[in-house]
Structure 1
Amino acid sequence: MLHIRGEAALDEGQLLVLTILTRVASTLSALGVLTIIATYCFSKHFRNPMHRLIVINAFYNALDVTCTMISTSGPAAGNPSPLCQFQGFLNQMFPIADVLWTMAMAVNVYLIVYRSYDVASLRRLEWKYMAGITTVTFIPALVLLFIRNDENGPMYGSVTLWCAIAPKWVLFRIVLYYVPIWASIFATIALYLLVGIEIAKRRRILRSISSQVNATILDETIPPADGHHHHHPDSCGNSTTAEYYDSSSHPSANDPSPTTTSSSNNPADAGGTCKNYTPSTATRIIPANPSSLSFRQYILMPLFFFLALLLVWVAPSTNRVASFVDPAFASYPLLLTVGVAGSLRGFWNGIVFVVVGMRSWKRRRESDEVALRPVTG
């Protein structure tokens, strides 16, 4: 016996497999969401502005998981049912919000590279992101709950996997769902391309400066947006090149701590012999610019989030375009892929948050250990 659910005809076995896979994937996403929140709460190493955006998005992901966990129960309840309408509302709002939060991370990266935004400046943007993303996703999703007519029925209805904008309203689904998603994706790509170009330009400048002053420049850091490299005087008044670290976890250059090794304890002041110290891998200098932010913490993680996002949206978009071009199109393997991919958003976010975050923390800790080594004359 075949069950016609929106666009596809599924037998009992196919429907059962589809339901099981989407709910297993949803469970993994729920674990990913809990991991993000717990890691942020219990680890002080996951507290920079990018981490905060990811944690805020995790609460949106939690409601997205609610939608995918309902799975085929929404369509089974019938299009006019409260369960189907509730699932349709969730499906319209929170996947788009996930894409917009990923774009917000890209905006932060752009502001860091081009505008030299520091930690405080980035945090002041959070409430604006939250208000904007919630508004532009909630209002359309709410309005669509009240749109229906005798010919097409309610706007939200079965699309085989779950309830969303129904097939009879397919043009609205493309315009109100896939267009905002892919517009945000392309905008994010553009932002990362601009960032990549600027980083490449600055690294060429840094290599040139490095060769002139015979200094070691960390390959994982970004100079201030004005393009100028900051220097610290050594014990004889000469200039040594400063390396860039995250200001949230390092003191400033004026802090008389042991880490500012190459500019403290001037032997000339103590009556000793003046020596020139050449920076080496064992001589780490804290940056004069406290707004400099490290590459791995503030750029690498959002970039991986974006790549995971692309993987999630390829299959659903392919299925939607194919069904729009040919209304009779149906592919059960593609349908399974869409169900699993769409249910794993929170899972991939959790993986990226923990794996990339731990690698960044480990590298930062290694840099700290090197910074505390005694200066070699």
Structure 2
Amino acid sequence: MATLAQAHTLGLLERIGGCTSLVAVLFVLLAYALIPKVRNPRNTFIMFACVANLGASIACIIARDGLNRGEDSSLCWAQSFLLHMFMQSDAWWSLGMSFHTFLVVFGRTDPNSLSMWRYCLVCFGGPFATAFPLFFVSDSIRGPVYGATNVWCWIRDDWASIRLFTSYLFVWTCITGSVVLNTIVGYRIFATRNKIRNFSSSRSQHSAGHDQLSSASSPAHPHGSPYATIVTQVSITRAPAAVITAPTPTHSYPTPQANRSSSQEQITHSSIITSHNVNHQTPRIIKAAKRAMTKFRLQDPIKRAYLRTTFLFTLSVLVSWIPASINRIRSLQNAAVPFPYQVAMVSVMPLQGVWNAVIFYVTSRKTLREWAWEKWGFSSLEPASIAGVATERAVEEANIGHHQDPTDSGSDVELNYILRVPVKKFK
């Protein structure tokens, strides 16, 4: 049983986390409502997850007031229902987002043909089906299911098995499914893009080979080529065997030999010897290591976008539920849960809306920046800032063709992440 000071600390942490998450969720919902360009399938999943975070944040703001009102109070029961339904709904939406990405990549489903009512039916209907019937479950020995716990009103400790099978089991099933689907999709995307890049590289080398064959008649080779050219120049200087003086003719005509020196004749012979494969080849081990490093290089914006969206969403659910799961395992082993375990749980679980808001704004920052430029223009910027913004837009526009390839589209997770930002013309 927590002391009065410990109870005050727990209640304060719950309210701080709940209020912070509530503000973050409201910003996400406001941005989604005002900016049409952010309404892609990926952000739609995050938006509905934020709706679930809205209910969980309200339950966290109630904090320990439900306990103070009593287990039989309406406030305690309302907090129990909100926590049981909306706290686990975030994990359901994470699985739904991973499943939709799997369908897009492997089933070649159009990412824009998103039937959100089906996902809402599962991701909201599943938790509701486990939370609402618990209002009516009770017996004479253990009492009702909803009631007091160590930190807030939820499923009472006397019904620990129901809490385990109707909450933690579903949450970890969703987390495991999300990790498996994200791993499969990520491997497919990385493997496909590396094959395409290797094919493009082989075509470039093939074209370069044709260029070298067409210029084979030239004795000069480009710098850095695997051929070495040896030029041998032999100069032979000889004097005439004898000098014969002939009578001067009556009419003399200039001849080509008139400009040559009469004392010596210089004959120059040049020969070109070309040797092949003078440079030593790079060891195969080094080449294999370079190819392996290239496969895992994260300079590709598509790969970075994929990692930011799918894995960050799943990671946020993991961060939220690991302390609560450790707390639950500890309570099964020993009824008295240490106070630091409770602090860790109430510090992390209310912040689900904050993690989703961070993912939303990080992955959509370019779209949000473009919307701000179009909304307010450049009137408030200095001339140097205007030039910098124009240069940045021009660079982004030029880089689109460099990064775009056939795998840049086909996933709601940001496979079409590269935005074609229009460049404003300045007069």
Same fold per TM (> 0.5)? yes
Sequence identity (%): 26
Q: Does 1:311 align with 2:319?
A: yes
Shift of 1:370: 3.6
* Mapping 1:319-330, distance limit 5 Å: 319-327=327-335, 329-330=336-337
The answer on 1:57 being equivalent to 2:49 is yes
**What's the offset of the Cα at 1:298?**
6.0
Can you give the 5+ residue segments of structure 1 that lack an aligned partner in the other structure? Answer: 1-8, 216-292
1:348 and 2:355 aligned: yes
Q: Secondary structure in 1 aligned to 2:38?
A: coil
Matched, 1:204 2:212: no
Q: Aligned in 2, Cα 1:297/1:44: closer, same or farther, shift over 3 Å?
A: farther
> What pairs up with 1:100-139 in 2 under 5 angstroms?
100-121=92-113, 123=114, 125-139=115-129
Report if the CA contact (8 A) 2:104-2:111 is conserved. Answer: no
Amino acid at match of 1:140: T
The answer for the alignment partner of 1:178 in structure 2 is 168
Q: Is the 8 A contact 1:101 1:133 kept in 2?
A: yes
Distance 1:177 1:198 in 2: 32
Contact 1:88-1:157 within 8 A present in 2 as well? yes
1:297, distance to aligned residue in structure 2 (A): 5.3
Shift of 1:112: 2.3
Q: Which amino acid aligns with 1:341?
A: V
**TM superposition shift of 1:138:** 1.0
Are 2:38 and 2:367, in contact at CA under 8 Å, matched by a contact in 1?
A: no
Residues in 2 aligned to 1:58 and 1:342: alpha-carbon distance in whole angstroms? 14
For 2:156 and 2:169, the matched residues in 1 are separated by: 16
Q: Which residue is equivalent to 2:364? A: 357
Deviation string 1:85-137 (CA, Å, 9 cap, x unpaired) is 1111111111121110111111122122212222332x2x2110001222211
* Runs of 4+ residues deviating >6 angstroms: 360-365
d(CA) in 2 for partners of 1:24 and 1:314? 20
Q: Is the 8 A contact 1:75 1:160 kept in 2?
A: no
In structure 2, the residue matched to 1:368 is 397
Report the AA paired with residue 353 of structure 2.
Answer: G
Question: Within 2, Cα distance between the matches of 1:20 and 1:128?
Answer: 38
Higher mean alpha-carbon deviation, 81-90 vs 109-118, is at: 109-118
2:153 to 157, 163, 169: 163
1:343 to partner: Cα distance: 0.9
Number of residue-to-residue matches in the alignment = 285
Determine whether 1:141 maps to 2:149: no
Partners of 1:314 and 1:74 lie apart in 2 by: 25
- Measured after TM superposition, the shift of residue 23 of structure 1 is 0.2
Deviation string for 1:158-177 (max 9, x for gaps)?
Answer: 11211111100011111111
Q: For the residues of structure 1 that align with 2:125 and 2:347, how far apart are their CA atoms?
A: 28
- 2-structure distance, mates of 1:305, 1:326: 32
Q: Which amino acid aligns with 2:137?
A: I
Aligned residue number for residue 18 of structure 1: 10
1:199 offset after TM fit, Å?
Answer: 2.0
Take 1:183 and 1:86, find their aligned partners in 2: how far apart are those partners?
Answer: 26
Distance, in Å, in 1 between the alignment partners of 2:10 and 2:175 is 28
Judged with a 3 Å threshold, the aligned counterparts in structure 2 of structure 1 residues 112 and 214 are, in CA distance, closer, same or farther, namely farther
Q: Runs of 5+ in structure 2 lacking a partner?
A: 206-300, 371-391, 403-427
Residue 238 of structure 1 is matched in structure 2 by: none
Match of 1:84 in 2: 76
CA shift at 1:369, angstroms?
A: 4.3
Give the drift of 1:346.
0.7
Measured against aligned partners, the alpha-carbon deviations of 1:184-236 in whole angstroms (never above 9, x if no partner) come to 10011110111122123213312321112229xxxxxxxxxxxxxxxxxxxxx
Q: How has the CA–CA distance of structure 1 residues 371 and 361 changed in structure 2, closer, same or farther, with 3 Å as cutoff?
A: farther
What is the alpha-carbon root mean square deviation over aligned residues?
A: 2.4
Match of 1:336 among 333, 337, 343: 343
CA contact (8 A) 2:52 2:89 kept: yes
State whether residues 296 and 360 of structure 1, in contact with CA within 8 Å, keep that contact through their aligned partners in structure 2.
no
Q: Which amino acid aligns with 1:306?
A: T
Q: TM-score, normalised by structure 1?
A: 0.70
* Aligned residue type for 2:96: A
Q: Distance in 2 between matches of 1:44 and 1:309?
A: 27
Secondary structure (helix, strand or coil) at the match of 1:302 reads: helix
Secondary structure (helix, strand or coil) at the match of 2:124 reads helix
Say which SS state the counterpart of residue 147 (structure 2) adopts: strand
Bigger mean CA deviation after superposition, 202-211 or 174-183 = 202-211
> Matches of 1:114 and 1:161 in 2, distance apart?
44
Structure 1 residue 296 displacement after superposition: 5.3
**Distance (Å, rounded) in 1 between the aligned partners of 2:353 and 2:35:** 20
Query: Does the Cα contact within 8 Å between 1:64 and 1:91 map onto a contact in 2?
Result: yes
- The structure with the largest alpha-carbon Rg is 2
Cα distance in 1, alignment partners of residues 138 and 401 from structure 2: 67
Match of 1:240 in 2: none
Q: Is the 8 A contact 1:80 1:157 kept in 2?
A: yes
The worse-fitting range, judged by mean Cα deviation, of 134-143 and 293-302 is 293-302
- CA distance in 1 between counterparts of 2:26 and 2:133 reads 31
**Superposed CA offset, 1:42-101 (max 9, x none):** 334412111111112212211111111111111222212111111111111111211101
The separation in 1 between residues aligned to 2:309 and 2:187, in whole angstroms, is 18
- CA deviations over 1:294-334 (Å, ceiling 9, x no partner): 5555663232111111111110000001111222x321111
Correspondence for 1:46: 38
The answer on whether the counterparts of 2:96 and 2:123 sit within 8 Å (CA) in structure 1 is: no
